[in-house]
Chain A
Amino acid sequence: MTISRNDVHYIAHLARLGLTEEEVSHFQVQLEGILRYVDKLKELDISNVEPMAHALDLKNVFRKDEITPSLDPRALMKIAPASQGQFYKVPKVIE
């Protein structure tokens, strides 16, 4: 698997990560190395194996639909970088 600079730029955009050109070069080489290592998994015959998402035998965990106290919205707004009343403020989204 070869990874181009464009691949790294594209992935970084998906992850909403701004990267410097130097970081792009670095990650290009390292990502290629790591992917080469994990290619080992191609040796395995997994045709009849069910994927495993986690270790517990739990499915569809539901709770009662009851009203319970939640955290105080004012306390939560206080730790936001920018807020107004009960709203988070962000840079302009719609032109």
Chain B
Amino acid sequence: MNLSSQTITELKEGLKKGSFRTADILASLKTRYESVEEKVRSFARAPFFQEREFRPSGCLEGIPIVIKDNICSEGDLTECCSKVLSGFVSPYNATVVEHLREAGALIMGKANMDEFAFGSSCETSCFYPTRNPWDTSRVPGGSSGGSAACVAADEAVASLGSDTGGSIRQPAALCGVVGMKPTYGRVSRYGLIAFASSLDQIGPLTKDVRDNALLLSVIAGFDKRDSTSAPLPVPDYGKEMEADIRGMKIGIPREYFVEGLDPEVRSCLAEARARLESLGVTFGEVNLPHTPYAVSVYYIVATAEASSNLARFDGVQYGLRATPASSLEPPLIAMYKETRDKGFGAEAKRRMILGTYVLSSGYYDAYYLRASKARRLIKEDFDSVFKEYDLILTPTSPTPAFKLGEKTEDPLSMYLSDIYTISANLAGVPALSLPCGFTKAGLPVGMQVIGPSFGESDIYRLAYQYEQKTPWHKMKPQL
């Protein structure tokens, strides 16, 4: 029986009926892995197909889940796809991993990613790039490229990724799966290897909206080990999404439908809007006037935070230590520099250089402080739209998946591929990408639904009702 293409919901039903066991699911996934992984390369290293121990109760009982290589799971290699963490076996579990295990899930393996989540194409992984299952000459998006590709290629049932500027939503869009970046504080970041602490959130990537809502209900919630996690109860998203969407008011931001938006993406969005109107949703044009500044704010704030977070990788407590052949500097400083030079790839270095620069004496006010103020203006744009509208609808990415190598030489063009996703991280609001069509060349297109803080239920509600009326989530790549 081929189980690899089934959703969590379908597998749960089969397990409950006794039609198959977890070992059968793993065997199906193994067969699929063996036939397609060479083409896609979704995983950071070979996953576990033996039945690992799992708790015999809970809403994910016996369901294997893949997690991104920057999420710690005890006893497993967790290398952030970086040489600087080579050989790092996590001595503890991230809170999301504990939640998954309590719900009965098995951690099946770790997905490939851009090194330290620095990238939008999965090409900066120290191992190898992941490829888009719909066209293996193209990127899967990033940084959670492996997490998206393994679900799209049916090598995984569902996965977790992390999103700092679009790293769940953009690959979800480019691979044709559903990806949610929850509200900042909704999911604990404890055990997520930090990139930019004021922006990072963990979230689920799944084959459909129902699975996504279920997985978020499991991983969300207050955690005393993350002082920025929100002390709020977690709704049963799966139940709340079934409510009617008639009368919902959706804003379409003018600033997102400008030059640079691919015409095929634009027409998929227009069709999605018409479809939603037929379901009784009303639309209005809105303004998010500070959108043109979002990429600038992001690349100052995110790199500043990254340069400080990555200071801990110094060859002392874990991971790589490199010893310089000879140096004029004091031995400890020389060891730090050699370790960091050998351990980090070009994009990580570029971001640490930029981040250190914008925080350095004499430039702090001109860059970091100015960006932090502009960030508030971006957040206020959202606040004022959400006074009148329930949700915002936009494209997730300005283009469908691009070719491998197309943007690696020009960091700025790579950064601009996140132009529609970055603002939600800066404002802290939740946003989900779901499939809304295909280009003529057969590449998936995603749309983004943005909600007010802690408005995940409404996002799922709209996404679920739309998904019920469209075939996109059922389409499969030919591999």
Number of A-B contacts (CB under 8 A): 168
Give which listed residue, B88, B290, B429, contacts A79 with CB less than 8 A. B88
Q: How far is the CB of A78 from chain B (nearest CB, A)?
A: 8
B40 CB contacts on chain A under 8 angstroms: none
Contacts of A41 on B, CB cut-off 8 Å? 293, 296-297, 300, 370-371, 374
Q: Tell me, yes or no, whether A52 is within 8 Å of chain B by CB.
A: yes
Q: How many residues of B contact A (CB 8 A)?
A: 74
Instruction: Tell me whether B27 is interfacial, beta carbon within 8 Å.
Output: no
Indicate with 1 or 0, residue by residue over B284-297, a CB within 8 angstroms of chain A CB atoms: 00000010110111
Q: Which residues of B contact A35 (CB under 8 A)?
A: 357
Cβ A18 vs Cβ B341 within 8 A:
yes
Interface string of B382-419 (1 = CB under 8 A from A): 00000000000000000000000000000110010000
**B379: chain A residues within 8 A (beta carbon):** 52, 55
Report B341 CB to chain A, min CB distance, Å.
Answer: 4
> What class of interface size applies to chain A in its complex with B?
35 or more
Please tell me if the beta carbons of B353 and A31 are within 8 angstroms of each other in the complex: yes
B62: CB under 8 A from chain A? no
Which residues B340-370 have CB closer than 8 A to chain A?
Answer: 340-341, 344, 346, 349-350, 352-357, 360, 367, 369-370
Contact: A90 with B377, CB < 8 Å?
A: no
Q: Do the beta carbons of A31 and B354 come within 8 Å of each other?
A: yes
Which chain B residue has the least Cβ–Cβ distance from A48?
B373
What would be 22 A-B contacts, judged by CB atoms less than 8 Å apart? A8-B353, A17-B353, A35-B357, A37-B412, A40-B293, A40-B296, A41-B370, A44-B373, A46-B370, A52-B372, A52-B373, A54-B184, A55-B183, A55-B426, A56-B184, A56-B230, A71-B92, A79-B88, A79-B89, A80-B317, A81-B318, A88-B316
Interface residues of A (CB under 8 A from B): 7-8, 11-12, 14-20, 23, 26-27, 30-31, 33-35, 37-38, 40-42, 44, 46, 49-56, 58, 61, 63, 71-72, 75-76, 79-82, 88, 90-93
